[in-house]
Structure 1
Amino acid sequence: MPAAAPLWDPSQYLRHADHRARPFADLLARVPDLPGRPARIADLGCGPGNVTTLLAARWPTAHITGYDNSPQMLERARADHEGPTPGGGRLDFAAADARTWTPAEPYDLIISNATLQWVPGHPASFPAWVDALAPGGTLAFQVPGNFDSPSHRLMREIAASPRWRERLGGTLRHDGAILTPAGYLGRLTALGCDADVWETTYLHLLQGEDPVLDWVKGTGLRPVLTELGPDADAFVEEYRAALRTAYPAGEHGTVFPFRRVFAVARKAG
């Protein structure tokens, strides 16, 4: 039986909002000027909308739509951010699934922040997304590249243990979740784009008790929490102990290395 779609908790996700927003800001800094006046922008996998607002700061007159398949995330995004923007543009949010989303209109920018790793086979969507870009438009995204780090490896090992494997078999993905940077570069240049692909490992200095666990409760652990429901506490306790060994607290906090892969692909003008 396929695993249930993860249930998202906007408040938990936003507990590390500053750290999570930094890769989006770094991605945005490499996006070139857009052809539209005003620009039309799609934020695919917008979550609670907190980083979508950065698009309005960069392109104040743009019409920006954030797309997500989580009702909880969309409710939070609409409540906090939807409406006219200070520069005369508009920010709205709509339900859409990145696995099946096909642009219904031309866009100057299609951007996605830490979403495509949840979409099996997402590079197959690149041709349709690039086709939907206006001439000179851009497809930009960043995805986590830390699936072999202790935070993810330990989660998979515990899920595969005799206690949990019957309930969690197939719940956590790894192989093929993302391409290598060279793989993304090859796919995007083959579509005729001027592509810039890079990777960065951030060293997040987290505060508080069990901060790495607190981080993954907002993202990578969501499928386990959803699948186990009320029984998740026992899994979390096993996982907590393993994370404390893998990420020991230091004098100034807990260092959490996090690799990410970025791509900015500009369509020919």
Structure 2
Amino acid sequence: MTDIRVNSNSEETQETTHFGFETVNKSEKASKVAQVFTSVATKYDIMNDLMSGGIHRLWKRFTIDCAGARPGQRILDLGGGTGDLTAKFSRIVGEKGHVVLADINNSMLNVGRDKLRDHGIVGNVHYVQANAEELPFPDDYFDCITISFCLRNVTDKDKAIRSMFRVLKPGGRLLILEFSKPVFEPLSKVYDAYSFHILPRMGQMIANDPESYRYLAESIRMHPDQETLKGMMDDAGFEQTQYFNLTGGIVALHRGYKF
């Protein structure tokens, strides 16, 4: 959501958005998010395992299953960070396929590149530093786009979804894996307690960075709920849009098609 802030002294109108629970100028958010992910990049994988108890691997496996990727296809793993989905897609599409691991943050991209190369994943994977709102790819280019645990950090989510729609081929599909809103009230209370009390402490102990992990918790709460995000995809032109609640709605996978 974007608000309008008027500076009464200069009569200058500025667009604002959220950075966690903080209201910031829209032009400032990208740099603030960059600072967070530059800080957490080297500890990102281990913190994912600790924070989710390893369940994030099951969420990502479900995403791969729903993506329907096939040999020879062209896949964009947007905001792909350390490359978990890219690694799986690389094996599926094979030598005749093509996977682009794109991330706006160069530190995350470097960690992902090093990790995949250490695992012998080369040849059909390419790395691109890219802004989701202005994707540097031709129209109708990819068979499938995934964006996992990234969209909530994007400044203009509607613009990013439209950009993804543009670069998808007709018949292509977009899958958005993201933290969402728990569907059971008792779970929501437990989740809040975990996010705002335990998570920052883990960030302090493991990564010596409680503030970045506090932001990550806050960004989840500010992200659109399941139905709102579905509507945003519909508005961008996607069809047959649906979502799957995972782990009681703590995470949701949205999928839509371009026809």
1:82/1:93 contact within 8 Å kept: no
Please give the root-mean-square deviation of Cα atoms over the aligned residues, in Å: 3.4
Aligned amino acid, residue 53 of structure 1? A
| Pick aligned residue for 1:92 from 126, 133, 157 | 126
Identical positions, percent: 15
Secondary structure of 2:244 counterpart: strand
CA distance in 2: counterparts of 1:50 and 1:175, whole angstroms: 21
Stretch deviating more after TM superposition (3-12 or 68-77): 3-12
Aligned match of 1:48:
82
Using the size of structure 2 for normalisation, the TM-score is 0.64
Tell me if 1:197 matches 2:243.
Answer: yes
Call closer, same or farther: CA 1:33–1:20 in 2, change over 3 Å: closer
Aligned match of 1:227:
none
Aligned match of 1:28:
64
What is the Cα deviation at residue 119 of structure 1? Answer: 1.4
State the number of aligned residues.
Answer: 198
CA distance in 2: counterparts of 1:174 and 1:65, whole angstroms: 26
CA distance in 2: counterparts of 1:140 and 1:103, whole angstroms: 19
Rg larger for: 1
Secondary structure of 2:134 counterpart: coil
CA distance in 2: counterparts of 1:47 and 1:152, whole angstroms: 22
2:244/2:252 contact within 8 Å kept: yes
Higher helix share: 2
What is the Cα deviation at residue 89 of structure 1? Answer: 5.9
Q: Which consecutive unaligned segments of at least 5 residues does structure 1 have?
A: 159-167, 203-257
Aligned amino acid, residue 234 of structure 2? T
What is the Cα deviation at residue 135 of structure 1? Answer: 1.1
CA distance in 2: counterparts of 1:71 and 1:97, whole angstroms: 11
Call closer, same or farther: CA 1:42–1:192 in 2, change over 3 Å: closer
Q: Which consecutive unaligned segments of at least 5 residues does structure 2 have?
A: 1-23, 182-187, 202-210
Q: Deviations over 1:86-114 (max 9, x none)?
A: 7x96012121233x332422111111111
CA distance in 2: counterparts of 1:124 and 1:184, whole angstroms: 13
Tell me if 1:14 matches 2:50.
Answer: no
CA distance in 2: counterparts of 1:66 and 1:261, whole angstroms: 22
CA distance in 1: counterparts of 2:74 and 2:242, whole angstroms: 22
| Pick aligned residue for 1:101 from 115, 119, 134 | 134
What is the Cα deviation at residue 122 of structure 1? Answer: 1.0
Aligned match of 1:135:
170
Greater relative contact order, per chain length (Cα 8 Å cut-off, separation 6+): 1
CA distance in 2: counterparts of 1:31 and 1:59, whole angstroms: 12
What is the Cα deviation at residue 140 of structure 1? Answer: 0.8
1:84/1:90 contact within 8 Å kept: no
| Pick aligned residue for 1:66 from 87, 92, 101 | 101
Aligned amino acid, residue 200 of structure 1? L
Tell me if 1:186 matches 2:222.
Answer: no
1:40/1:107 contact within 8 Å kept: yes
CA distance in 2: counterparts of 1:137 and 1:107, whole angstroms: 7
CA distance in 1: counterparts of 2:143 and 2:124, whole angstroms: 15
Secondary structure of 1:47 counterpart: coil
Matches within 5 A, 1:85-234: 90-98=124-132, 100-105=133-138, 106-145=141-180, 149-154=192-197, 172=215, 173-174=218-219, 177-190=222-235, 191-201=237-247
CA distance in 2: counterparts of 1:81 and 1:157, whole angstroms: 29
Secondary structure of 1:51 counterpart: helix
Call closer, same or farther: CA 1:175–1:144 in 2, change over 3 Å: closer
